[in-house]
Amino acid sequence: MGKAGKYIKSIFRGDFLTAIKADRNIPFILYVFVLVILYITLNLLIEKSMTIRQENDRIIEELRIDYTQKSLELVSIDTRSKVKEMLEKTGSDLEEPRQAPVKIEDNRK
């Protein structure tokens, strides 16, 4: 196991840290480690919230399309010919009035 094996054992035991006098910088190394973990965590949370927002935007767009379709259907039902056609399809015996409506006045006062 020559010199290479010795270096590998030194790395696994952590002896290389004392050899390069890194023990003085352990608080700084821990600080950098915490910052890196915080950075990764924040990026993951932001990515998750962006994914949720994109999904919500997609759902809102679908609902907007549905709303537009429903409002167009209601507007088309409002026409007199469409109402007559619907009544004929259901077999109703209602007919279109032949005279204009008249106002009924209450003379009992």
pLDDT digits (tens, 9 = 90+) for 77-94: 777 777 788 888 888 887
> Which of 82, 78, 84 is CA-nearest to residue 97?
84
**pLDDT tens string 51-67:** 999 999 999 999 999 99
Task: Please state the pTM of the whole predicted model.
Answer: 0.52
Q: What single-letter DSSP state applies at residue 24? A: G
Instruction: Give the tokens for residue 2.
Output: 């020559």
